Amino acid sequence: MSGAINPGSTLGVLGSGQLGRMFAIAARQLGYRVHVYSPEKETPAGAVADREFQGEYDDLDTIREFAGSVDVVTFEFENVPAPTARACEELVPVRPGGSVLHISQNRLREKSTLQSHGLPVTPFVPVHSTEELASAIASAGGRGVLKTASWGYDGKGQIAVKADTDVDVAWTALKTDEGILETFIDFDCELSVVGVRGLDGSFVSYGPLRNEHHNHILDVTSYPSLLPEKVCREAVEITREVLESLDVVGVLCVEFFLTRDQRLLINETAPRPHNSGHLTIDANVTSQFEQQVRAICGLPLGSADSLGPAAMANLLGNLWSHGQPRWVHALSDNEIRLHLYGKADPRPGRKMGHLTCLGTTVEEAISRVRTARKALLPEPP
């Protein structure tokens, strides 16, 4: 393919957490070098990268030094300042582009942009004051979710509100001057589709993947979703439209609510590999991380075909609360695959790794990853 960034080149990643780590591992398997950039040192991605740049994201001199050392830049999370992406774009391609980052990192811009393209989003109202919040709650039927417009993830930066909510307390607790009130959705399930778009406009996808959350953090993802074929086709087609509308080159995940009457509503997007797509490492011909490498380098996309029913369970820092988890017990099921992210501090709620299992049925795969995760805990006294 003309214009391809060939193996042997150096790929740059803004961010150096677990997504950057798994990207770097996939890139190394394809023969690339990897440089990562973040404000931290001795990071999960830095441990497997060829070079780890440390600096603040607004340190544009160091950012330009980083960009000058690589052939293309991508990112592993969307909360990178827009000037940072622009500084990289002065020197090398950034994929997905900084414009995609700019849209996805702000819920108001994201939903407004998708809505302008005729895509189905959860109903929303911009909020900038307590007065606007009170009006928005009323217009949402007396129930909704107040969120910060920027910088929220894993349930952070959001508050459930009702008609009798003290709007002064809720608005103050959010600690922002720009929010969004989303109508409460009575949904049947949450699902996601991880889409990949190549430099030539080619498209592949994973899913729909069924997602179960606990305390606003993804708990278990499974495939197939066991949803009606019509819903599955529509979810993939909406995802394709999102990537094409935003001119994405790379990986982007679309998270959906499926309402009780079987309508799909976009909850949010993530312009990078996604937690729900981690099972693709073991359960698909080509993982979402290898696809990210292929897409940003202008290589042909790999097959996204499934290898069979599969499930993934997140491992949070809570599992370490009574000491080292019992790895031998979890891995006594020899079909369980363990992925740890190299994080030294297992704080409660922090994603430390995941387990994956393939099964003859999706129900079996879910049961086995749950059983293996439970086996990590110490025996009760």
Tell me the per-residue pLDDT of 217-233, one tens digit each, with 9 for 90 and over: 999 999 999 999 999 99
What percent of the chain has pLDDT above 90? 80
State mean pLDDT over 358-362. 98
Distances (CA, A) of 313 to 192, 216, 217, 300, 351: 15, 14, 11, 30, 11
Give the three-class secondary structure for 243.
helix
Reply yes or no on whether the pLDDT at 16 is more than 50: yes
Q: Whole-number mean pLDDT of the chain?
A: 94
What's the rounded Cα separation, in Å, for the pair 268 and 330? 33
State mean pLDDT over 196-201. 97
What pLDDT band is residue 278 in, cutting at 50, 70 and 90?
very high
> Which CATH number applies to 123-183?
3.30.1490.20
Q: Pairing mode, if any, of strands 351-358 and 51-54?
A: unpaired
- So where are the chain's domains? 10-94, 123-183, 187-375
Architecture in CATH for domain 10-94: 3-Layer(aba) Sandwich (3.40)
What fold is seen in the domain 187-375? Answer: D-amino Acid Aminotransferase; Chain A, domain 1 (3.30.470)
- Give me the pLDDT at residue 122, please: 93
CB 11 within 8 A of CB 292: no
Residues in the chain: 381
The model's pTM is 0.94
State mean pLDDT over 47-74. 97
Q: Which residue in 74, 83, 109 sits closest to 273, CA to CA?
A: 74
DSSP of 314-347: EEEGGGGTTSS--HHHHTTSTTEEEEE---S---
Q: Which residue in 68, 7, 59 sits closest to 35, CA to CA?
A: 68
Reply yes or no on whether the pLDDT at 1 is more than 80: no
CB 97 within 8 A of CB 77: no
Reply yes or no on whether the pLDDT at 2 is more than 80: no
